[in-house]
């Protein structure tokens, strides 16, 4: 024996690992949400900050409590509960009573995520289930929107309908008239100066984060492009206004940050294209024919059900597989 007290560590190959980690991914996606977070405070004031901080705190708290109760290691530092809290907060109106985000967090984290096995095992996007639950439970509070505040100091909440709601109830003409022209409508939608859920109003802020995720490789183009593309296509084909449909409501947020959730979406690129297209179709079906003015949330949740099936049915070709089939046939 020549190994003078040298301790050798043994494990199976590979012996090197990339420096990417689940934790870093979660914090990077959270970072990508910061422009929209900032925009929400800019447009909806301190109330937006309070709602979102309460939601994040509730999500992290429920994660820790649930893991403690079921006797699992507490993993709140991995950033996934913070991310869920951010996304759930983004989907709420500014002037919501705070017990609603807290309940939504409980449903998102404890029921949707941990009762299904925790990170990696949930079927549905936790933030969206949380939001669906509170929307159905408190429909009035969840659809009482605030007009963007003129300055952070002025806290007077003026309630107003969302552009999608006006378009649905009173028609596009009325909406354009209200904003004083199509270009004014587009520009307000693009920058986010419209009423709506906290994190969804500013297309610009969401695009900034989305581009960051794309450039850094945290998401690929497949889901956002097929989702947004399908919405535009359906809007154009049905004689609607594609630009309006792209910028209004939760489409941008949904396409870049919710439908792209790794856990609840498909993993193969082909399946992701179908998944995105399905989200787009269902969104437009609900927007144009459904009872709700907005359909992004339900569209993604419905498509979540199909994610494993799509992955299974649309597997990539195994290296050398085609050649083998030909040979077998010959």
Partner 1 sequence: MNTGTFERGTHPPDNKALSAAKSITEAKVPSRVIIPLSQHIGAPCQAKVAVGDLVKKGQIIGSADAFVSSPVHATVSGKVVAIAPFPHTMGRDIPAIVIENDGKEEWAEGIKEHSDWGSLDAAALRDIVKTAGIVGMGGATFPTHVKLSPPKEKKIDCVIINGAECEPYLTADHRVMLEEPGAVVNGLKILMKIAGVSKGYIGIEDNKPDAVAAMEAVTKGDSSIDVYSLKVKYPQGAEKMLIKAIVGKEVPAGGLPMDVGVIVQNVGTAVAVYEAVRYGRPLLERVVSVTGRGINETKNLKVRIGTPLSQLVAECGGFKFDTGKVIAGGPMMGMAQSNLDSPVIKGTSGLLVLDPEESEIAVHGPCIRCGRCIDACPMGLQPQMLSVLAEKGFYEEMKEYDLMNCFECGTCAYVCPAKRPIVQWVKLAKMSLARK
Angle at Cα 298 formed by Cα 39 and Cα 305, nearest 5°?
Answer: 120
Least distance in Å: CB of 85 to partner 1? 18
Residue-level length of the chain: 330
Helix axes 80-90, 126-137, angle to 10 degrees: 40
Residue 268 as a binder of partner 1 (CB under 8 A): the answer is yes
Q: Which of 21, 159 has the CB closer to partner 1?
A: 21
Please select the residue that binds partner 1; options are 70, 184, 262, 305, rule is CB under 8 A.
Answer: 262
**Exactly one of 17, 153, 156, 329 binds partner 1 (CB under 8 A); which one?**
17
Smallest gap from Cβ 56 to partner 1, in A, equals 20
Cβ proximity of 52 and 89 under 8 Å: yes
Is 21 a binding residue for partner 1 by CB under 8 A? The answer is: yes
Stretch that binds partner 1, among 155-163, 224-232, 245-253, 319-327 (CB under 8 A): 319-327
Site string for partner 1, 185-224 (x = CB under 8 A): ----------------------------------------
7: contact with partner 1 by CB under 8 A:
yes
Size of the site for partner 1 (CB under 8 A): 46
Tell me the HSE value of 183 on the side-chain side, using a 13 A CA sphere. Answer: 0
SS3 label, residue 264 = coil
Residue 320: Cβ within 10 Å count: 8
SS3 146: strand
Query: Which one of residues 8, 153, 329, 330 is an interface residue with partner 1 (CB under 8 A)?
Result: 8
305 near partner 1, rule: CB under 8 A: no
Residue 12 binding partner 1, by CB under 8 A: yes
Burial group, residue 88, by CB count within 10 angstroms (0-12, 13-18, 19+): buried
3-state secondary structure of 250: coil
């Amino acid at each position: 024996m020549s190994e003078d007290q040298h301790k050798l560590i043994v494990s199976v190959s590979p012996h090197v690992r990339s420096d990417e980690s689940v934790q870093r991914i979660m914090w990077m996606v959270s970072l990508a949400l910061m422009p929209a977070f900032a925009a929400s405070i800019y447009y909806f004031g301190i109330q937006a900050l309070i709602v979102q901080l309460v939601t994040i705190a509730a999500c992290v708290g429920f994660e820790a409590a649930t893991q403690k109760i079921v006797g699992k290691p507490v993993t709140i530092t991995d950033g996934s509960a913070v991310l869920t809290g951010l996304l759930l907060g983004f989907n709420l109106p500014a002037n919501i009573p705070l017990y609603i985000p807290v309940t939504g967090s409980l449903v998102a984290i404890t029921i949707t995520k941990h009762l299904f096995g925790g990170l990696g095992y949930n079927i549905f996007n936790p933030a969206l289930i949380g939001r669906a639950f509170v929307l159905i439970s408190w429909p009035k509070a969840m659809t009482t929107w605030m007009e963007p505040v003129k300055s952070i100091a002025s806290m007077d909440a003026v309630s107003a309908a969302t552009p999608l709601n006006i378009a649905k109830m009173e028609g596009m003409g009325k909406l354009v008239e209200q904003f004083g022209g199509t270009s004014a409508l587009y520009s307000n939608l693009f920058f986010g100066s419209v009423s709506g859920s906290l994190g969804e109003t500013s297309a610009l802020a969401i695009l900034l984060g989305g581009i960051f995720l794309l450039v850094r490789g945290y998401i690929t183009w497949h889901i956002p492009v097929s989702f947004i593309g399908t919405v535009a296509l359906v809007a154009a084909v049905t004689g609607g206004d594609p630009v309006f449909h792209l910028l209004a409501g939760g489409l941008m947020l949904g396409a870049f940050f919710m439908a792209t959730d790794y856990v609840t979406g498909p993993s193969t690129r082909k399946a992701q294209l179908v998944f995105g297209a399905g989200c787009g179709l269902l969104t437009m079906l609900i927007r144009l024919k459904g009872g709700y003015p907005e359909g992004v949330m339900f569209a993604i949740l419905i498509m979540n059900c199909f994610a494993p099936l799509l992955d299974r049915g649309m597997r990539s070709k195994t290296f050398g597989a085609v050649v083998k089939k030909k040979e077998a046939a010959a």
